Amino acid sequence: MSVTICQSMGFVVSALGIGGIIASTCMDQWSTQDLYNNPVTAVFNYQGLWRTCVRESSGFTECRGYFTILGLPAMFQAVRALMIVGIVLGLLGLFVCIFALKCIRIGSMEDTAKANMTLTSGIMFIVAGLCAITGVSVFANMLVTNFWMSTTNMYQGMQNVQNRYTFGSALFVGWVAGGLALVGGIMMCLACKGLIPEESRYKAVSYNASGRNISYRTGPYKGGSGYEADPRTRKGVGYEEAPRSEDGRRPYPSKYDYV
């Protein structure tokens, strides 16, 4: 029962995390204009991964997408790639995890196959969460660097740089969503161990004799002087003595005459 609960909770937590990653990727408020020195302004700027927006005091909002790829910074494109990879891996993990749930039976699927699918989906969730956390952290580092550079230029009297950007709500959503996906993946990996049948964990190998049980009798050891009697004088099982003639010779040679 605990394995089913752990697997179900891992699926739900991972699904929430993947949904949050998708939402944060689509959000426009990755970076918002800092209004510390100018709290009252007629124009408010905020930017996302796919477009930049301007909101006026009248409530009118205009957004414009990035129509170029080569003109964007390399780190910005890396953040895009990380978020997309996290979404793809997360969706694949959810698809695999649905068929791996213990409460769902599909045909004659064994518990070992479900355990392997659970482990695979858990690894996908963990990688997806790490991609999301890394992407959001890289973007946050870019914002911090640009913020302090803009602040330094403003203190030096360069009034042409006025807009400073700070963390947007999408960053916090991405951090929380990445953490949820990571925790859900760990729970799925823990549930995998409980799905493995007991008989497949420890496989004992038994060896049986291929033939009958043969017992051997050991007689007493007799030490000899090195001189053995003539084999022709030996009599034993299977030995048949040929008839002799009147002069003591056999009419035909015996099998021991060549020894």
Is 230 part of a structural domain of the chain? no
Is 16 part of a structural domain of the chain? yes
- The pLDDT tens digits of the residues spanning 95-149 come to 998 888 877 777 676 778 888 888 999 999 999 999 999 999 999 998 888 877 6
Reply yes or no on whether the pLDDT at 251 is more than 80. Answer: no
Name the token pair of 93.
């993990």
pLDDT computed for residue 206 by the predictor? 45
Banded model confidence at residue 214, pLDDT cuts 50, 70, 90: very low
Average pLDDT over residues 207-230: 50
Is 50 part of a structural domain of the chain? no
Average pLDDT over residues 237-251: 53
Reply yes or no on whether the pLDDT at 16 is more than 90. Answer: yes
Strands of the chain, DSSP E = 31-33, 43-47, 51-56, 61-65, 165-167
Least confident stretch, 26-30, 106-110, 121-125, 170-174: 106-110
- Work out how many domains the chain is built from and give that number: 1
Is 102 part of a structural domain of the chain? yes
Is 96 part of a structural domain of the chain? yes
Average pLDDT over residues 238-254: 54
Is 236 part of a structural domain of the chain? no
Please state, rounded to an integer, the average pLDDT across all residues of the chain. Answer: 76
pLDDT computed for residue 21 by the predictor? 95
Q: If we measure between CA atoms, which residue out of 90, 88, 87, 93 comes closest to residue 25?
A: 87
Banded model confidence at residue 45, pLDDT cuts 50, 70, 90: confident
Give the CATH number, domain containing residue 182.
1.20.140.150
* Three-state SS at 61: strand
Assess contact for 173 and 154: CB atoms under 8 A. Answer: no
Q: Which of 54-58, 131-135, 154-158 is most confident? A: 131-135
Which residue segment(s) compose the domain that 20 sits in? 1-28+69-197
Is 176 part of a structural domain of the chain? yes
From the number of C-beta atoms within 10 Å of its C-beta (0-12, 13-18, 19+), residue 115 rates as buried
Reply yes or no on whether the pLDDT at 218 is more than 70. Answer: no
Single-letter amino acid code for the residue at 51: R
Assess contact for 176 and 20: CB atoms under 8 A. Answer: yes
Could you give phi then psi for residue 65, rounded to 5 degrees? -80, 165
Residue with tokens 């009118």: 60
Is 156 part of a structural domain of the chain? yes
Find the angle CA(206)-CA(212)-CA(213) to the nearest 5 degrees: 80
